[in-house]
Chains A and B, each alone.
Chain A
Amino acid sequence: MQSVPVPGRGRRGAELIEHLLRRAGFGATPDELNAYVDLGFTGTVSDLIDYEQVPDAVDSLIGKPGYAAITPRGGFLPAQNITDARQRWVFRMVHSGRPLQEKMTLFWHNHFATAYSKVAGAFGSTEGARYMAAKPSEDPNRVEGQIELLRRHALGNFRDLLVAVAKDTAMLVWLDGRTNVKGRPQENFARELMELFTMGVDTFAEADVYAGARVFTGWNLTRPSNAYYTFSYVASQHDTTAKEFTFPVYADGGKTIPARTAGAGQQDGLDLIAAVARHPATGPRLARKLYDFFISEVGRRDETLIAELAAVYYDSDFEMKPVLRHLLMSPQFADTSNRYARYSWPAEFVARALKEVGWTGFSVNDTLTPMSSMGQQLFEPPDVAGWEPGPGWFSTGGMLARMNFAASLATNQKFNLRTLARDSAKSPESLLAFLLDRLTAPSFAPESRRALLDYARAGGSWTGSESQVTTKAAGLVHLIVGSGDYQIV
């Protein structure tokens, strides 16, 4: 039996940094990886977390040569057209110099899962896209769409993020806060604030939902100059009576938000948000979600690290940067048993495939329908709980969609791949070794590598002709990127 090639790795430490970039970013191109390896692990972590040091220039690259293409329909209008907003976001995932900011934006998009369709149903498709994705700099009224809000707070203070989300136009539509008024309280936002955004199910009572709904009465929308919708506290619609909770609202243990005048009543909501941010269930719950997103989805969670992350969260007054720094610098993050221990989200899979396979001549528009078939249409989570990550992504239909995306990308990149692989195509073994290294998959089991090699050899003896390299390089990329192994990150 001939020996089966095992992927080699170039530079010392590169594997850990590759791991870091798959988790805290969307993978890396060979050039990006080299640049990060020069920074070292700690330097890369700082670069990722303290991303303000890196220019936020990614949007200016859209449409430029050397980057993935977009497909405009007339104009490219991401603040007005949700398909264009989706293209812009995938483009950012692939090309941003601040990958962790994009990664956390994706995390918060799932956490505060808001669907474009409901906002568009209320205000029309152009306005729907605007409240989901407009940048203030491109909007006549400086509207900040929800995804820009999440980006701005990506590693900010969690309590501040909750306040911003509670006042976000799309959220006020999504969870019906815009219709929450005195005497007719609307429970939707108050319930999900506690159940999904902070404390978690079974940590509160129905009475807390009633009280919470009254707290947010008057947190509605207004429409200045008939030009846009924005948050407005409507004092006359606020329920001014006291609200009693079953858990402490105040640091002194007080459970009652006092009766306040209508004019001062907005403070009720700020008090409740501070309370749920401080609630003892919130830190561990966020820590578990971050653990699953960054460390591992396999086996038991490391409760020590969960407790540490929760402690950092409380000690830092809900600042997320210290939490992420502790997480990425933890021994658990670097532990080799936690490599390839997560199920990639469709967005992660697609962006990483583009970075590792190549994008010249490929439009991010062609990722959108496949991502939908994989179960993740950006700006359209299935419900208020967001997507179900982990094995939840992997149905038979979803797995076929991943294999078929691998096929369409490999088809599109056939000639680029031939050029890349030409010098490494002396034999089927060397071609396979080259591609396995470039695609950073975990080492396949021997029988799986044998299946790949048999494919490379099938159909006649190896001549290394242009047409043979074209066929087999694309074919191998399809099989590797479409394999189960590649889905694990």
Chain B
Amino acid sequence: MSITRRDFVRGGVSAFTVSFAAPAFLSDLARAQGRTRRNLVVLYLSGGNDALSTLIPYNDPQYYARRPTIAIPAASVLQVGSDKAGNALGLHPRLGGLRSIYNAGRLAIIQRTGYLNSSRSHFAGTDIWSTADPRTPQGTGWLGRYLDTLPSPVDPLTAWATTREVPRTLQARTVGVPAIPSVTGYAFASPNGGVDAQYARDSATRIASHVPVDQPHLAFVNATAHGAFATLDRVAKVTSYVSTVTYPGDGFAQALRTIAGAMVKDVGTKVFWVQTGGYDTHSAQNPNAANGAYSNLMNTLNGGLSAFYSDLLNQGLLGDTLVLQFSEFGRRITENGSQGTDHGAASVMLALGGGVRGGIYGMAPNLRIAPDNPTLENNGADVHYETDFRSVYARVIDAWLGADSTSVLGADFRVGAPAFL
């Protein structure tokens, strides 16, 4: 098991709690700090996405040889042209909405993203992508460190995780991030009505204001409660959001709808986190069957992102929005005996939004097993990375968030970064 958040909190709790409990909580604060209306939405596909089923090298005979039952027929893929090396590529047949966004020039597909000596562990891999530190994947996340660069006091709604837990990517040293999976449930209830409910809230808020530095665990819990009190009235505004399109009913699409609502209601959030799971497709991956596991994953991804894109376009917010997708690793090239794929190495990243320079970045792997094939690793079992994921992060930090990637990432990853922004 990987490093837990506890180890982090053991070290960093006091600075964190003091800031989460900081008294200034107006969205004006964030604007006054010189922000634009730019938003970043980080999308995590949990479980390790099989990049070769998302973006299919449909002219590579080795792809069909090594995946006798789960390869997607060339005739089914949604062609998106070729990469610079001339490898013909197509999206999964369920990604029709993404193909339209690609055709509109607003989807970047970054192939073979990863890092040297890729971890095949879900947990170590996720921590590495979250911290952007393959050697010591502990402590704060890369976007948490970005939040730490903002002038203090930082508005407590600057970031918003739509999950029940705050992911490591958003864990900061001095900034608390709220986890708000549902805006309707994000309210303070009371056993008594009327004025007594207000007395109760006043009292609970005072109790939550107690953040004793000599009791870091209590300080952490109280600061979290305080963060809830500091954000719930603004979050409540999002409940009245009326979207311009109908989103699918699944949790992923509904989370994106909430994010669109938060943007339209201008609650002040700059960084959102959304995730969708089920990508650990060890068996019955079934990317071809209409209701196969991987088809359903792609359908969910496509449905949510397409609705979100259209909604933001209609709201005039697309130009302010960047969606950045990642997963903790790609999967083995050769299918296993269960019509699935085991843990592998490099994967694919997607970037989508009004400021994105659409297109295909990087070169597809050559799937032929040979000692001199530099696009594979692990004796040809896995795809070797071409683009260090940290150079993608660097581009986002520098070109979108307007911060300094070398300080946030602790090193210079700007050279060779794909120019998708």
Contacts and interface: CB of A to CB of B under 8 A. Distances in A.
A355 B228 CA distance: 27
Nearest to A237: B337
B187 interface: yes
A483 B338 contact: no
A184 B336 contact: yes
Contact of B342 (A188, A407, A444, A483): A188
B212 interface: yes
Contact of A297 (B6, B192, B196): B6
Interface stretch (A39-47, A66-74, A222-230, A390-398): A390-398
Interface residues of A, number: 75
A389 B378 CA distance: 34
A458 B189 CA distance: 18
B220 A451 contact: no
B195 A298 contact: no
B124 interface: yes
B206 interface: yes
B123 A385 contact: yes
Given A184-B337, A452-B207, A459-B196, A407 B231 contact: no
B122 A384 contact: yes
B210 interface: yes
Nearest to B46: A383
Nearest to B156: A396
A362 B180 CA distance: 28
A471 interface: yes
B265 interface: no
B221 to A, nearest CB: 4
A206 B10 CA distance: 32
Nearest to B342: A187
Given A201-B1, A397-B180, A484-B225, A411 B165 contact: no
Contact of B192 (A209, A385, A474): A474
B44 to A, nearest CB: 12
Contacts of B232: 400
Contacts of A373: 164, 181-182, 185
B1 A200 contact: yes
A187 B221 contact: no
A483 B222 CA distance: 8
Given A188-B282, A343-B217, A383-B46, A400 B338 contact: no
B179 interface: yes
B2 interface: yes
A175 B336 CA distance: 13
A403 B188 contact: yes
Interface string B181-218: 11001111111100110011011101110101000111
Given A397-B180, A451-B207, A201 B217 contact: no
Contact of A176 (B176, B207, B218, B338): B338
B124 A479 contact: no
A67 B123 CA distance: 41
A359 to B, nearest CB: 16
A399 B224 contact: yes
A479 B203 contact: yes
Given A451-B203, A459-B195, A396 B218 contact: no
A196 B4 CA distance: 13
Contact of A485 (B187, B218, B343): B218
A210 to B, nearest CB: 9
Interface in A41-95: none
Interface of A: 175-176, 179-181, 183-188, 191, 195-196, 200-202, 206, 209, 292, 297-300, 341, 343, 373, 375, 382-385, 388-392, 394-401, 403-404, 407-408, 410-411, 414, 444-445, 447-448, 450-452, 454-455, 458-459, 471, 474-475, 477-479, 482-485, 487-488
Interface of B: 1-2, 4-6, 9-10, 46-47, 120-124, 161, 164-166, 176, 178-182, 185-192, 195-196, 199-200, 202-204, 206-208, 210, 212, 216-218, 220-222, 224-225, 227-228, 231-232, 277, 280, 282-283, 336-340, 342-343, 378
12 contacts: A297-B217, A384-B122, A396-B228, A396-B231, A398-B164, A400-B187, A407-B189, A444-B207, A447-B206, A451-B207, A471-B192, A479-B200
Given A179-B283, A474-B192, A488-B217, 13 more contacts: A176-B282, A185-B336, A185-B337, A196-B1, A200-B1, A206-B378, A385-B2, A388-B165, A389-B6, A391-B217, A397-B186, A397-B228, A475-B200
